[in-house]
Amino acid sequence: MLSYSIIGMGAIGGYYGGRLAKAGREVYFLSHSDYQYVLQNGLRVDSCDGDFYLPHINAYATQKDMPKTDVIIVGLKSVKNHDVLPELLRPIVHQNSIVILIQNGIGLEDDMQKEFPGLQIVAGLAFICSAKVGPGHVSHQCYGSINLGNYSCQQEKFEVLLQDMTDAGIQAAEVPYLEARWKKAVWNMPFNGMTVALNTSTDKLLKNPATRQLIYDQMMEVIGAANALGVNTLTSEFADKMMQMTDEMVPYSPSMKLDFDYHRPMEIEYLYSRPIAEAKKVGFEMPKLAMLEAELKFIEAQLNS
């Protein structure tokens, strides 16, 4: 049986880690801001699929006290990947550990493999509306599935991981790595940045005809970039599906909008700069999303000035 560490006990790590712990898996949580609270009160998940409460969890204030585990689920924002994340991982990985990067963007696994050449890495693409609403308290509003793209993991271990998640009530599926990353970008690149640039929510963007068309055009830019990079399974039908899915969602503020609202660094590098640069390498331009990237950089600079 695999053991798990959760790095980033927020909306994502709290939910998936909580599901695994509820199913009886050995799970260790790194909890900085609410360590004392969860140590005494545990973890509560209000979920559209059924609420649950874990009165006692294995919580740690520092990674230095955590045991080495077979699987490390990273739910941190990618702005911490270059400096903070390597220091968090080093004490808890062993020579056969798997790291699942449940993060948004393109190029994440490439950079992590350079930092840890022997590490087995999996891309985690979560399709979930979830928020941390208080210490040790996660609100799971809708969806909740996760696609796993095998970047450098032994297939046998990957299948055990997949089964663990399924047994824990998580709708998990294996998808081709590059396809998985670009599929997630089809939704992330338009909605994360547009909700920030126009200071709004997903439902309002789609109710206005002008911004609805712009969102769709941006989705098609992402699909065009993916096609140029060899992901031929992505078509306009997927954009149509994402539009319909978002129409049916509760009004939602994506993670970048929440970062903007709370004056936290935004994930511009992996969500925008890297995919735009990767597409440009093969001669494909993303003009509407490049403009959005420039606007986001301006907005962040103003917040920091």
What's the average pLDDT block by block, 10 residues per block, for the chain (305 residues)? 93 94 97 92 94 96 97 94 94 96 95 96 90 91 90 96 96 94 95 98 97 98 98 97 92 89 95 98 98 98 88
pLDDT at 182: 95
Measure the CA–CA gap between 223 and 235, rounded to whole angstroms.
7
pTM: 0.90
CATH class of 179-304: mainly alpha
Kindly give the interhelix angle for 209-228 and 287-304, rounded to the nearest 10 degrees.
Answer: 110
pLDDT at 142: 81
Measure the CA–CA gap between 266 and 55, rounded to whole angstroms.
33
Q: What CATH topology corresponds to 3-175?
A: Rossmann fold (3.40.50)
pLDDT at 70: 98
CB atoms within 10 A of CB 208: 13
What would the two tokens of residue 171 be?
């709708």
Residues labelled as active-site residues: 184
**Strand 26-30 relative to strand 3-7, pairing:** parallel
Are 3-175 and 179-304 equal in CATH topology? Answer: no
Q: What are the Cα distances from residue 288, in Å, to 25, 157, 217?
A: 45, 41, 8
* Domain extent listing, the chain: 3-175, 179-304
The residues near 63 (Cβ < 8 Å, ≥ 6 apart) are 7, 30, 87, 88, 89, 91, 92
